[in-house]
Amino acid sequence: MARRSIYLLLLAFAAPYLYDRYLAFSVILSNRPAAFQRKYNIKSHEVKFPTRIRNCEDVVLDEGMGLAILSCDPGRDKWNTVMGTFYPERLTENGGIYLYDYANPGLPDEEALKRITLKNFETDDFHPLGIEYEADTSTLYVVNHAQSGSVIEIFSLAPTAATATHIRTLKHPLIHTPNSIHALGDGKIFFTNDHFMRAAVSPLLSKIETFAGIPGGSIVYLDINKPDTAKTVARLPFANGIAMLNSTWLAVASSSKAGVYFFEVTPEYDLKSKGYIRTPSGVDNLSVDSKGKLVMAGHPFAPALMKISKDRANCVHESENEEERKACECGAPSWAAEWSSDGGIKEFYKGFHFCSSSMAVRDVSRGIGMVSGLYDKGLMVFRV
């Protein structure tokens, strides 16, 4: 009898946890290929620049100038510190930062998209992930998953010249598994670490952390002028995209919980929990449009994404060998949705026109939006 009550007690403690995991897995299950339901609540779309860019993880908009800044890394095929792909000996390509002038539809493609020249920055170890742009000070923050260790690179961007001058490399014990950055101005940032267990240390434990929903990810506050005052302000499972919803509320995506956490930011940059919402897809990155709506992109069916990250290690474009060519394919669905406190969640895209969506942004006044694809070629540009 004693043993039985211990089991019951354990079950009672575990029940909320098991239910939570059940909900997370049912999101994946309901998006399995046989049950997948497409959504197309956009006017039209087009995949631009497929021959010039691929594996773009992040897009940030400077709506004032009508420019999008993209972070793309073909090297992700062989080197992905989040998903645990490590083939440094096959790594031949560096990542790059691009500028897309989306406000002038008349421009020829070669002029509309420019690769930014990085000045004062000699490296063959550049693997950009999340980026953030502070327009007032022209500061560009870039999470660099360098082989020598993950850091945050800081550049000064000159958009008209399409150059970015490197200012400094930020290393810090709290920059552990950096993913996304949100700039608060004046050198102050919030950023997320996606995992406690780095895939570089143990790919298996890192995956267990993901699937068990262990809150090993974190949100860190850091002032680049006073790095020693940096602090961890919250922990959550697989912390990913981060964006301020308005002047006081912070939204942070959790890719493994399948949801978004909300916090109120105190004057000391501490966080007070304001609850969370579940999403019908794993959420990758977040942005906020000029109407104050949260725009999300993510991965409805995580197993497809994991398969790509595994296959890509063997991908050789235009290879004679069919297997090597097949390893370059991209079949993971994309998903984009918006959220507001009065409107709730509205999915506006779900489908296969574009693969492995990681970020969605929207310029409401120009009626244009973009979705980036972690493992796809080009950029999906849509009309709203």
Interacting residue ranges for ligand NAG, rule: CB under 6 A: 57-58, 60, 129-132, 179-182, 241, 243, 245-249, 285-287, 341, 359
DSSP state of 377: B
List the alpha helices (DSSP H) in 249-381: 302-311, 322-326
Q: Closest approach of Cβ 237 to ligand NAG, in Å? A: 16
Q: How far apart are CA 74 and CA 289, in angstroms?
A: 28
Q: Which is nearer to ligand NAG, 250 or 327 (CB)?
A: 250
CB 302 within 8 A of CB 323: no
Of 114 and 127, which CB lies nearer to ligand NAG in the complex structure? 127
The contacts of residue 297 (CB under 8 Å, 6+ apart) are 283, 284, 285, 334, 335, 336, 357, 358, 359, 360, 371, 372
Full DSSP string of 56-111: EEEEEEETTTTEEEEEE-GGGGTEETTTTEE-GGG-----EEEEEETT-TTS-HHH
In the bound state with ligand NAG, the residue whose beta carbon lies nearer, of 95 and 327, is: 95
- Residue 379 corresponds to which tokens in the numbers above? 């950029």
Query: Smaller CB distance to ligand NAG: residue 293 or 314?
Result: 293
Residues in contact with 168: Cβ distance below 8 Å, sequence separation at least 6, in sequence order: 153, 154, 224
**Number of helical (H) and strand (E) elements in the chain, helices listed first:** 5, 28
SS3 188: strand
CB 130 to ligand NAG: min, Å? 3
- Which is closer to ligand NAG, CB of 91 or CB of 295? 295
Interatomic CA distance for residues 139 and 334, integer angstroms = 30
Nearest-approach distance from CB 50 to ligand NAG, in angstroms: 20
Hey, what are 137's tokens? 């000070």
- Considering the complex, state which of residue 95 and residue 130 has its C-beta at the smaller distance from ligand NAG: 130
Question: Which of 243/271 has CB closer to ligand NAG?
Answer: 243
> Please, what is the minimum distance in Å from the beta carbon of residue 285 to ligand NAG?
4
**Shortest Å distance, C-beta 292 to ligand NAG:** 7
Smallest separation, CB 131 to ligand NAG (Å): 5
- Which residue number has the CB closest to ligand NAG? 130
- Shortest distance, CB of residue 341 to ligand NAG, whole angstroms? 3
Cβ at position 240, least distance to ligand NAG in Å: 7
C-beta closer to ligand NAG: residue 210 or 314? 210
Could you tell me the two tokens for 136?
Answer: 């007032």
CA distances from 143 to 95, 167, 227 (A): 12, 14, 16
Residue (248 or 273) nearer to ligand NAG, CB: 248
> Least separation, in Å, of the C-beta of 374 and ligand NAG?
9
Residue written as token pair 């964006």:
243
Q: Give the amino acid at 160.
A: T
219, 265 contact by CB (below 8 A) = no
